[in-house]
Amino acid sequence: MYKRILLKLSGESLMGNKQYGIDEQRLADYARQIKEIADTGIEVAIVIGGGNIFRGLSGAAKGFDRVKGDQMGMLATVINSLALSSALETAGQRGQVFSATRMEPIGKLYVVQDALDAMKRGEIAIISGGTGNPFFTTDTASVLRAVELKADVMLKGTRVDGIYTADPEKDPTAVKFDRISYSEIYNRGLKIMDLTATTLAQDNHLPIIVFDMDTVGNLKKVLSGENIGTLVEA
């Protein structure tokens, strides 16, 4: 169904049942699911958040300089990307860590063609460091990379199984959408992604599927066309 995808993973989901950091079992589950779809020939790029380690906006609220706080958040995404790369290698899947800013030998500087070449070789392109600039979220970075790499779809893996009329973890009456438009997300004030990411996706006609990545097997189900999660389109 899709030839090339960008998968956005939540840093918070990497915590699993922990209060901080990385849950090794959750990481291994992710790696196995990613290898499973890569084995079918789908080209995969990944962007991971850093909220399990440090979130710049939260740091700013506690007195951190916003620019330095966001830079700390970017470094957190590098740590998560290295962890995923290691887990993929353990699962038997090659991956290449790219960084939005120079960080050799930890990661290779992100260049669109280099990431495309890595995916064509069957490697997973793990793109860290956000956009390389403060004041932009990893959701915006994910949409930007998906557009740059001409991905057929962006998959936003979360701990919730789609988009609801309200937060289902707080409101038991919340109703799930199977499909929703970008304009409806905006009009309803749904906090799926920040406005910059949503607008960038809409302007570039990038479809997004929001789904529960924490349930093992869901990634393959989404890519097989099963009706799980929520499809966002124009």
pLDDT digits (tens, 9 = 90+) for 108-154: 999 999 999 999 999 999 999 999 999 999 999 999 999 999 999 99
What is the C-alpha to C-alpha distance for residues 28 and 21, in angstroms, rounded to an integer?
A: 14
Residue (of 123, 158, 114) closest to 35 by Cα position: 123
Mean pLDDT along residues 28-34: 97
Q: How many CB atoms lie within 10 A of CB 16?
A: 17
Residue 56 has pLDDT above 70, yes or no: no
Predicted confidence band of residue 60 (pLDDT cuts 50, 70, 90): low
CATH of the domain at 45: 3.40.1160.10
- Tokens standing for 171? 């409101």
Residue 7 has pLDDT above 90, yes or no: yes
Phi, psi (5° rounding) for residue 157?
Answer: -85, 120
Which residues form the domain of 164?
4-233
Residue (of 3, 48, 19) closest to 139 by Cα position: 48
CA 195 to each of CA 178, 210, 234: distance values in angstroms, whole numbers, following the listed order? 21, 16, 15
- How many domains are contained in the chain? 1
Report pLDDT for 19: 87
Q: Report pLDDT digits (tens) over 196-211.
A: 999 999 999 999 999 9
